[in-house]
């Protein structure tokens, strides 16, 4: 009996020794198998996908700027509220700009009155010119009649001189005829002077017309300038009332009622909530098989359980370093080869499904399937 118990103890001891000898080897073997399996899976996955965690969600944003100076009368939005395009946001006191508009409109109306006066002056000058032309024609007609009378008086004088030689006419009758010739000649000279005066008056009248026309053109040019001033004043009045340039959600507002703002001052920024995309920065060694249109799996750090799909939209024509303020110059003599990253734009498929989760600036992991 004692011998049997001793034998059982030896078997138990041998089993424990064998278990202690082979158990670590078994565990190590299992670890190697599991590690090899996952390594193989990672290798296969790496052959089909290129991934990066250097990626962010991007979106369109528009700053709302003050375009005129003045005191803020009202602010119609709060921080992080949704606004629609054209919605009133901020009003700046427009009194100064209303007064300026009234002033330029009054100046414009004065110029309109001046234009009406100039046109009346033109009509008067044209009427005067017509009268001068009529007077010139009348003087010409009178001169023609007087020339006929002068010629007749010359003929009468010739006849009376012949009669006087034949003693058929008295001395007084001959002198009367001579006086008549002188009177008709002087009258004709007077008519010629009237013609010359009419021609001179006609030139003066034409000059008056030209002056009136030039004055009208000058006033019309002034009206154009003043109309432009009115349009500019209306714009400034409109600029005092700021509306949303796009639909979206505003960030933190930097304006309160009573604050004095300057032109170009940023009051807040509107981020469009309808258009988002992802810019992922891949290493240059990851681009060999990457093409436009390839599917992309997207994981948001903020929502790890959210499964977002996308596709490659475009690849940048330059590395990210080329867009920096001071791009590196490899010819400086201190060259160290660094793996460059290239921005890749990724389009989000069905973005309306994730409208409440997407935020510009969120970090994401992007995984592009480069081999089907």
Q: Where are the alpha helices (DSSP H) in 240-287?
A: none
DSSP state of 1: -
User: How many Å is the maximal CA-CA distance in the chain?
Assistant: 214
* Residues 358 and 281 reside in one and the same domain: yes
pLDDT of residue 12: 65
* Residues 265 and 319 reside in one and the same domain: yes
Last residue of a domain, one of 193, 209, 237: 237
> In sequence order, what are the residues at sequence separation of 6 or more whose Cβ sits closer than 8 angstroms to the Cβ of residue 234?
101
pLDDT of residue 262: 94
Alpha-carbon 8 to chain mean position: 99
* Residues 190 and 69 reside in one and the same domain: no
pLDDT of residue 18: 60
Give DSSP secondary structure letters for 225-293.
Answer: HHHHHHHHHHHHHHHTEEE-SSSEEE------TT-EE-TT-EEEEEEEEEEEEEEEEEEGGG-TT--TT
CATH code of the domain in which 174 resides? 1.10.287.620
- Give the whole-angstrom CA distance, residue 238 versus residue 67: 10
Two structure tokens written together for 352: 């309306």
* Residues 211 and 264 reside in one and the same domain: no
3-class SS at 369?
strand
- Give the whole-angstrom CA distance, residue 240 versus residue 243: 10
* Residues 172 and 68 reside in one and the same domain: no
- Give the whole-angstrom CA distance, residue 77 versus residue 261: 17
pLDDT of residue 202: 75
Residue in the structure block whose two tokens are 């008086």: 153
* Residues 363 and 281 reside in one and the same domain: yes
pTM of the model: 0.60
Last residue of a domain, one of 237, 266, 282: 237
* Residues 100 and 79 reside in one and the same domain: no
The HSE-up count of residue 303 (CA atoms within 13 Å, CB side) is 12
Domain containing residue 173 = 95-237
Residue in the structure block whose two tokens are 């949303």: 244
Number of domains in the chain: 2
Residue 186 falls within a domain, yes or no? yes
Per-residue pLDDT in tens (0 to 9) along the chain, 372 residues: 455 555 665 556 665 666 566 667 777 778 887 777 677 666 666 678 888 999 999 988 889 999 999 999 999 999 888 899 999 999 999 999 999 999 999 999 999 999 999 889 888 888 887 887 777 777 777 777 777 777 787 887 677 777 777 777 777 777 777 787 787 778 777 777 777 777 777 777 788 888 888 999 999 999 999 999 999 999 999 999 999 998 888 888 889 999 999 999 999 999 887 788 999 999 988 888 899 999 999 999 999 889 899 999 999 888 877 676 666 666 665 666 778 899 999 999 988 888 788 888 899 999 999 876
Residue 43 falls within a domain, yes or no? no
Residue 90 falls within a domain, yes or no? no
CATH code of the domain in which 324 resides? 2.40.30.170
Which helix (H) or strand (E) covers residue 72, if one does? strand 70-75
Residue 32 falls within a domain, yes or no? no
């Amino acid at each position: 009996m004692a011998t049997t118990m001793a034998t059982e103890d030896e078997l138990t001891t041998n089993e424990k020794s064998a278990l202690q000898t082979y158990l670590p080897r078994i565990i190590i073997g299992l670890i190697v198998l599991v590690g090899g399996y996952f390594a193989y899976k990672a290798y296969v996955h790496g052959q089909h996908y290129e991934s990066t965690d250097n990626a962010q969600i991007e979106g369109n944003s528009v700053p709302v700027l003050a375009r005129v100076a003045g005191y803020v009368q009202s602010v119609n939005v709060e921080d992080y509220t949704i606004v629609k395009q054209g919605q009133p946001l901020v009003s700046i006191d427009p009194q100064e700009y209303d007064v300026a508009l009234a002033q330029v409109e009054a100046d414009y109306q004065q110029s309109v009155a001046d234009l009406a006066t100039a046109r009346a002056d033109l009509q008067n000058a044209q009427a005067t010119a017509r009268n001068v032309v009529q007077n010139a024609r009348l003087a010409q007609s009178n001169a023609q009649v007087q020339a006929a009378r002068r010629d007749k008086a010359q003929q009468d004088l010739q006849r009376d001189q012949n009669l006087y030689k034949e003693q058929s006419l008295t001395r007084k009758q001959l002198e009367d005829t001579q006086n008549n010739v002188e009177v008709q000649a002087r009258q004709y000279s007077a008519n010629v002077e009237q013609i010359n005066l009419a021609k001179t008056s006609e030139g003066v009248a034409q000059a008056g017309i030209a002056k009136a026309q030039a004055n009208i053109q000058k006033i019309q040019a002034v009206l154009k300038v003043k109309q432009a001033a009115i349009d500019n004043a209306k714009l400034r009045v409109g600029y005092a009332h700021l509306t949303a340039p796009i639909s979206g959600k505003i960030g933190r507002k930097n304006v309160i009622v009573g604050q004095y703002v300057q032109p170009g001052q940023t009051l807040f920024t509107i981020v469009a909530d309808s258009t988002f995309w992802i810019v992922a920065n891949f290493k240059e060694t990851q681009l060999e098989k990457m093409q436009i249109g390839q599917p992309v799996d997207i994981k948001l750090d903020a929502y790890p359980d959210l499964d977002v799909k996308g596709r490659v939209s475009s690849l940048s024509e330059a590395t990210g370093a080329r867009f920096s303020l001071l791009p590196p110059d490899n010819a400086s003599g201190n060259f160290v080869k660094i793996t460059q990253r290239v921005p890749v734009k990724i389009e989000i498929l069905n973005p309306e499904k994730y409208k409440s989760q997407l935020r510009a600036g969120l970090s994401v992991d992007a995984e592009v399937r480069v081999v089907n």
